[in-house]
Amino acid sequence: MKKLVLLFAFLIAVSSFGQQKRDLKFNKDTNLIEVVYYHDNGAVSQTGFYTADGKLQGEWLSFSAEGKKTVSGNYDNGKKVGKWFYYTNDVVKEVDYSNNTIASLKESEIQ
């Protein structure tokens, strides 16, 4: 029952996030909420997961309105972890996070 109340509270909080169209699915096995946000043109904007208490978890991807990947990275209990990739034009920035802060940054051209 407590998890159901937390899920309901989370869904209300997410709905107040904005009027951006989204799909939500609760996975009973992982206890995570999968979310897909959409641009106004219907293209996928972001995909990722939330914990039942509303923290970002696992892989998150962001896309431009044209469908090009712009960001990929991972969260652990709401904190950025590991390597994140930011794609802009012909450049990819690789940012390594440690303790939710930037540990290193590399930049290279996309082949």
8-22 per-position pLDDT tens digit: 444 444 444 455 799
Q: What is the mean pLDDT of the chain?
A: 85
The CATH number that domain 2-109 falls under is 2.20.110
Single pTM value for the model: 0.77
For the four alpha carbons of 49, 84, 37 and 11, in that order, the dihedral sign comes to: positive
* pLDDT for 19: 56
Amino acid present at 44: V
Residue 110: predicted pLDDT: 77
Section 51-78 average pLDDT = 96
pLDDT tier at 89 (50, 70, 90 boundaries)?
A: confident
- Please indicate whether residue 93 or residue 4 has the higher confidence score (pLDDT): 93
CB within 8 A of 12, min separation 6: which ones? none
- pLDDT above 90 covers a percentage of the chain that reads 70
* Residue extents of the structural domains in the chain: 2-109
How many Å is the Cα radius of gyration of the chain? 16
Element (H, E) at 44: strand 44-51
Is residue 4's pLDDT more than 80? Answer: no
pLDDT attached to residue 5: 38
